[in-house]
Amino acid sequence: MKHQSPRHRQKTSLAHSHASSSGFSVLSNKGFRALIITYTLAMMADNVEHVISYWMMYQKFHSPELGGFAVLSHWLPFLFFSVPVGMLGERFDPRRLIQIGMVLFSLVSLGWGYLFLVDGLQVWQAMALLVLHGCAGVFWHTSTQMLLHDVVGKEELPAAVRLLATARYLGILAGPGVGGIILIGLGPIFGIFLNATFYIPTFFWLINAPYGPAFRAGSRSFKIAVRGFSDIIDTFKEVSGLPVIFSMVILAGSVSFFIGSSYQAQMPAFAEDLGHGDPGLLYSLLLAADAAGAMFAGLILNNKGIMSPRPRSALILALMWCVALVSFSLTNQYTFSLIILFIAGFIELSFSSMAQALVQLNAPEEHRGRVIGLFNMFSLGMRAGSGVTIGLVGGLIGVHYSLALAGILLALVISSLLYFFRNKGINSSLQNGC
């Protein structure tokens, strides 16, 4: 940081990204294969739990407000603790932080299973499990993104970042589809107990995985104290001088605050209004439509030379996503809803993985943990706001209108970002690199 300006480092990193492979060759790396498989499995399990727990809470309490709290409790821990956990990942072994997250995830699934089994679920118990689940995610996400830099070399890093970002959103979007199938085939009790086992492979692989600080050549010992809120302010100030990262952080925060994944939490209500509120095939297809679109996007996005990561492209795709979700919220046609959700899944994975890849590729090495933590704080933590914009507002005006309103407001914000960052020269800086 002493010898290069932030803008110069950013352009250099982007140029390196362009020169590196952008296809699937990184999958020949054995460690990366293990990482991405276990990561995708855990991400799927995270969202399978959402499907089952959200369904059971809705059936028992019929409360949009509780659905809104589910979103708040899942993402608020990211808002408060992502940067501190990122700094812990700079100082300690990220493998152990990930394992802490896996243990907490399994305990939460087992807790749901017990309460379903004895038919004793109460509102306060549901709220406690939802909060614990959110805390588990904080230990997992940032630490995994940091571990990635130990698993692959610099030449493989751009492709690895894109593939891990794709895996993350595939897990998010495929989880509801798999969860719907498990809900039908096994029922909520056996399904949630099975889900607790999906976190085990990640835990055991990380016990002796040859990555982390102890295996780094010339590794440094970080003695920086974790100071909490002041760390967040300092990191934000640093990122504000890196226009590519800053633009993606603002985009991710806006998307998360207004919409995030809250429409998934309210899917039982949407399905019921479409005439398919029972946990059958047609309901599961609604849950899986996003996943199908994301899978198709993943195949295209990771082909060399197709949809190269650019801030302007990410912003335009995010605008298209707004249009798709507003259309979904206002339709009463089941077939059209499936088509729109497929398109939404394709677009969401495209712009979200672009944003994540741009941030990881351009984060300063000496402050990588806190920069990635800041991005997670915005991209994940700000989703707590969508619990209000979709869930709590949905309790007042209905989830259809709350989703439509949130989509319109988000589109206005993204349009402002496009205008603002164009004046800041964001597009030219990226085009010189990519």
pLDDT string in tens for the chain (434-residue length): 444 444 444 444 444 444 344 457 778 888 899 999 999 899 989 888 888 888 888 788 877 777 778 777 877 888 888 888 888 877 788 899 999 999 999 999 999 999 989 888 888 888 899 999 989 998 998 888 888 878 887 667 767 777 887 787 677 667 777 888 888 888 888 999 999 999 999 999 999 888 877 776 655 544 555 555 666 777 777 787 788 888 888 899 999 889 887 777 677 778 778 776 565 667 777 777 877 787 788 777 766 556 667 888 888 999 999 999 999 988 888 889 889 999 998 898 888 878 887 887 787 777 777 788 888 888 887 877 777 788 778 778 888 888 999 999 999 999 988 887 776 655 544 443 34
Tokens, residue 84: 């501190």
Q: Cβ atoms within 10 A of the Cβ of 28, count?
A: 9
Q: Cβ atoms within 10 A of the Cβ of 318, count?
A: 27
Q: How high is the pLDDT of residue 158?
A: 67
Q: How high is the pLDDT of residue 409?
A: 93
* Residue 184 CB partners (closer than 8 Å, separation 6+): 279, 280, 281, 284
* Residue 251 CB partners (closer than 8 Å, separation 6+): 311, 314, 315, 318, 351, 355, 414, 417
- How far is residue 85's CA from residue 228's CA, in Å, rounded to a whole number? 10
Q: Which domains, and CATH codes, for the chain? A: 17-215+227-433 (1.20.1250.20)
Residue 157 phi, psi (nearest 5) = -60, -45
Q: How high is the pLDDT of residue 18?
A: 44
Q: pTM of the prediction?
A: 0.72
- How far is residue 42's CA from residue 143's CA, in Å, rounded to a whole number? 14
Q: Cβ atoms within 10 A of the Cβ of 193, count?
A: 17
Contact 26, 160 (CB under 8 A): yes
Q: How high is the pLDDT of residue 92?
A: 80
- How far is residue 92's CA from residue 377's CA, in Å, rounded to a whole number? 20
Q: How high is the pLDDT of residue 277?
A: 56
The count of C-alpha atoms lying within 13 angstroms of the C-alpha of 138, restricted to the half-sphere facing its C-beta, is 26
Q: How high is the pLDDT of residue 235?
A: 79
Q: How high is the pLDDT of residue 407?
A: 92
